[in-house]
Amino acid sequence: MLVLQLIFFNFPESYPSAFLINFTIVVLSVLGGFGAILGIILTVNNKLERAPFVVEKLCIFLACIASVVFIEVLYGFENINLAVGNDYSTDITNPPQYQTNKYERLDLKQHGSILLFMDDPEKVLRAGTDSLVLAMSGRDSKLLVKRAINKLGWIIVGRSDDASTDKVVNETYRVLASQGFTTLRSDLVVRIISSSKDYSLVDIRSSMPDMRRDLGFNELMIGELSIKIREQAAS
C-alpha cells in the first residue's frame, strides 16, 4: 500500500493514466482505513478470548494504519475532491488570467480516446477560499505576496502589469506551486489590485497542467497560499 501511495505522489501527472492511478490509490487508502478499524476490533476480540498472537495479522493491521496516516499527513482526506474540475479561482466573475489557454498549458496535449471522458470543460470553478482583502497599499501587498510565495518554496515564473498607473496597482504573478517532495504541481496566477493606499484585493487562480480531475489539489494550493499571505500580513 505504501509503495502504491508513493507512486501516487510521484507519478508524472501528464501520463495518460495518471488520474486512474491516483483515484485507485485514494480508494485503496480508504479501504486501508476500514482495514485498520477491523484490525482494532479483531485485536480486542482476540484479547478477550485469549486467542494466540498472530504476527501476520499485526503486520496487515500496521500496513493499513500506515497507509491512512500517510495520506492524511501529506494530503489530507478532507482535501480530496472528485468534482469535474481542474481550474479554480477565488473570483469567478473576473478571474485572474493566464497568458496561455488551457490547451497550451497542458504537459500532454494528446490523449487516447479511452480517456476523453475525463477531460474537463474549459470552465473556472469557485474555490472554497475567498478573495483576500489586505489593509495595505498595493506596493506593500506585492512585497507581502512575494514573501509568502518564497516562504512556501514556490517559484515566480513571470509577471504581467495590467494597466497599472501611479495611483492604481493591477499586477498578476505566474507561480509554479508544488507540494513537498512529490511531483504534484500546479500553475497559479496571483492578481493584486489596489486603487488606495489603505487596502488591496488579492485573487488566486490555480490549474494543474493536465486535462483530468485534480482531486482537490488546486483548492489545496490556493488555500495554502491564502493562509501564508494572512500569516505574513499578521506578522
Helices (H), 52-186: 55-74, 102-105, 138-151
Decide: 215 and 22 in contact? Cβ < 8 Å. yes
pLDDT of res. 100: 81
The chain-wide mean pLDDT, for the chain, equals 76
pLDDT in tens, 155-205: 999 999 877 677 889 999 999 998 876 677 899 999 999 988 899 999 999
- In percent, how much of the chain has pLDDT > 90? 37
CATH number for the domain running over 88-234:
3.30.310.80
CA distance 152 to 204: 15
Q: What is the rounded distance in angstroms from the CA atom of residue 109 to the CA atom of residue 103?
A: 7
Residues 206, 187 contacting (CB under 8 angstroms): yes
pTM > 0.85: yes or no: no
User: What average pLDDT does the segment 110-133 reach?
Assistant: 72
Return all residues near 118 (Cβ < 8 A) that are at least 6 apart: 19, 211, 212, 213
The string of pLDDT tens digits covering residues 27-60 is 656 666 666 666 666 666 666 766 565 666 666 6
What residue has cell string 501529506? 74
Helix or strand holding residue 9 (H, E): helix 2-10
Q: Where are the beta strands (DSSP E) in the chain?
A: 88-89, 125-126, 132-134, 155-161, 169-178, 185-194, 200-207
Q: How far apart are CA 223 and CA 212, in angstroms?
A: 20
The more confidently predicted of residues 70 and 5 is 70
**pLDDT value, residue 96:** 94
Domain boundaries, the chain: 2-79, 88-234
Give me the pLDDT at residue 14, please.
44
Q: What is the pLDDT of residues 83-110, one digit of tens each?
A: 778 899 999 999 999 988 777 776 655 5
* R_g (Cα) of the chain, nearest Å: 22
- Look at residues 124, 128, 149, 134 and name the one whose alpha carbon lies nearest to residue 192: 134
In degrees rounded to 5, what are phi and psi of residue 188? -105, 150
pLDDT value of position 168: 87
